[in-house]
Amino acid sequence: MARKNPNKNNEMPTADQPVDPSRRNLLKSAGIVGAAAMGTGTATNVIAQESQQVSSPITREALEVLTAEEADTLEAICDCLIPSDENGPGAYEARAVHYIDRALASHNKGVRENYMVSLEAINEYSKKTRGAPFYRLIKDYQNSILLGVQSNKVPGCAPSGSGFFNTVRSHTIDGTFCDPYYGGNQNFVGWDMIQYPGIRLSASETDVAQGAALEPNHQSAYDHDTYTKMAGNMAMNQRGGSDNA
């Protein structure tokens, strides 16, 4: 296949860059509960909902680690990876970014600097090539830049483009499909997406035979008293023996 003539650029001019009409804010005002309940997160639906003034804002979300601009950038990346589209909600509704922010404050703090450096590098690259930061670009441009990150064509990422891509992909999946306790998979949108019927402390032969047809129970591990701190007064005298020398 012949290479495209770089002089015949069929892309949009960079001077007046078309930007995504702040999709994040639209979704925000639509509310994740509403979007999830609709079983779809398409732009049309979101706009329709906004016009009806649906008011169920995102529940309290501190940014424990990320800056506001980092969060906007990451939000856009997560939405490219697991999009809200005609097939239903994605990483956005699951609040994968909220999960990642919390994880970077705790278990994943070792890669915080990679996020810092890479998110800035991606925005710099976006500004240089498309005239606006990543999170303000239209989805097509975002996707092509992200593909560039994955294939090591966007400079300045840490530990490398593909290395950062793999990290953020893995974390976005974690944040979309983990137990909701950790701040992602909100309203079980991730588990519903792949028809995971939910955590059960016991699965009968009939349950298994029904497989994916099993009604999703929408339970977190920590909806079970046994695993919460509240269970401290439960009689659990299982271990025998002494801790002492």
Partner 1 sequence: MPKNLPKTDVVIVGMGAAGGAAALPLTNAGLKVIGIEAGGWLSPRDFAPDELRNGARNWPQVVQKAASEAPTVRPTSDQKAVQGGHPMMNAVGGTTMHYWAQSWRLNPWDFAVVSATRARYGSDRIPTDSTVEDWPFGYEELEPYYEKVEYSVGISGQAGNVKGRINNGGNIFEGERQNEYPMRPLRASPFTDLMSEAAQRLDWNPFQGPAAITSELYDGRPPCQYHGFCNKGGCHVQAKSSTAFTTIPKAVDSGNLDVVTYARVTNVVTGNDGKVQGVDYVRGNETFFQPADVVLLASYAYENVRLLQLSKSRAFPNGLSNNAGQVGKHYLSHHQGSPVIALFPRDLHNWYGLPAQGVAIDNWADDNFDHSALDFIGGANLWAHTDRKPMSAAKMSTFGRVRNWGSEWKKFIMENADRSNVSYIQKTTLPYEGNYLDLDPTVKDPMGLPVTRITARYRDNELRIAEFSQDKMEEWYREAGAIEIQRTGLGNAMGATTHAYGGTRMGNNSETNVVDSWGFSHEAPNLGILGASVMGTSGARNPTLTVQALSWRTAEYLANNWRSVAS
Helix axes 112-130, 161-177, angle to 10 degrees: 110
What does 21-54 look like in DSSP terms, one character per residue?
A: --HHHHHHHH-HHHHHHHT---HHHHHHHHHTT-
Stretch that binds partner 1, among 55-63, 115-123, 129-137, 190-198 (CB under 8 A): 190-198
Using CB under 8 A as the binding rule, whether residue 109 contacts partner 1 is answered as no
What does 66-99 look like in DSSP terms, one character per residue?
A: S-HHHHHHHHHHHHHHS--BTTB--HHHHTHHHH
- Fill in the DSSP letter of residue 19: B
In the bound state with partner 1, the residue whose beta carbon lies nearer, of 6 and 239, is 239
Stretch that binds partner 1, among 31-39, 51-59, 130-138, 219-227 (CB under 8 A): 219-227
Neighbouring-strand partners of residue 73 = none
Using CB under 8 A as the binding rule, whether residue 48 contacts partner 1 is answered as no
Sign of the torsion angle spanned by Cα atoms 87, 132, 122, 186: negative
In the bound state with partner 1, the residue whose beta carbon lies nearer, of 11 and 86, is 86
Stretch that binds partner 1, among 14-22, 37-45, 59-67, 143-151 (CB under 8 A): 143-151
Residues near partner 1 (CB under 8 A): 80-83, 85, 87-88, 90, 107, 143, 146, 150, 169-170, 173-174, 176-179, 181-182, 190-191, 193-197, 199-205, 207-212, 214, 221-222, 224, 226-227, 231, 234, 236, 238-245
